[in-house]
Amino acid sequence: MAPQPTRTVVLMSIHPRYAGLILSGRKQVEFRRARIRGPISHVLIYETAPVQRVTGFFEVAGVDEADPQSIWETYEAVAGINHAAFWNYFAGRKTAVAIRVGRVVSLRQQVRLASFEARPVVPQSFRYVSPRWLANIGNDAL
């Protein structure tokens, strides 16, 4: 039997407006100011207030890092945000990170962080979590 590929999963805080655009397929890239160490395979979408739940996840199709102008020129058509919002987010930054969204799974039942751990910690931006979190969502939620 072939070995399973290693999964690196992050839990990412995303505003509900942008999470909805990702889950609907209209936003095909997630921007971040800080690079995530190492390759990541999946992003669990934690929608910030007022939702405050994991609402889906996506496979990472790739990660690009460059100056904000280059990132904007490359991803403007699938950014899911307007020019002003992009530049406001990256004001004063020399680099921008674009996480390309692959296959997206929207959960039928949103999941509270307490379902994953006793003392849930909401990430400021993102945090690494166990790949078991994907399995813990369960097939009934997919």
pLDDT tens for 59-70 read 999 999 999 999
- Write the CATH number of the domain with boundaries 9-109: 2.30.130.30
Q: Could you tell me the pTM of the whole model?
A: 0.90
Could you tell me the residue ranges of all domains in the chain? Answer: 9-109
Region for residue 74 given its phi and psi (left: phi exceeds 0; alpha: psi -120 to 50; beta: otherwise): alpha
In tens, the pLDDT along 64-115 reads 999 999 999 999 999 999 999 999 999 999 999 999 999 999 999 999 999 8
Edge-to-edge, what's the strand order for the sheet holding 53-66? 29-32, 96-111, 53-66, 42-47, 9-14, 126-129
Top pLDDT among 4 and 51 is at: 51
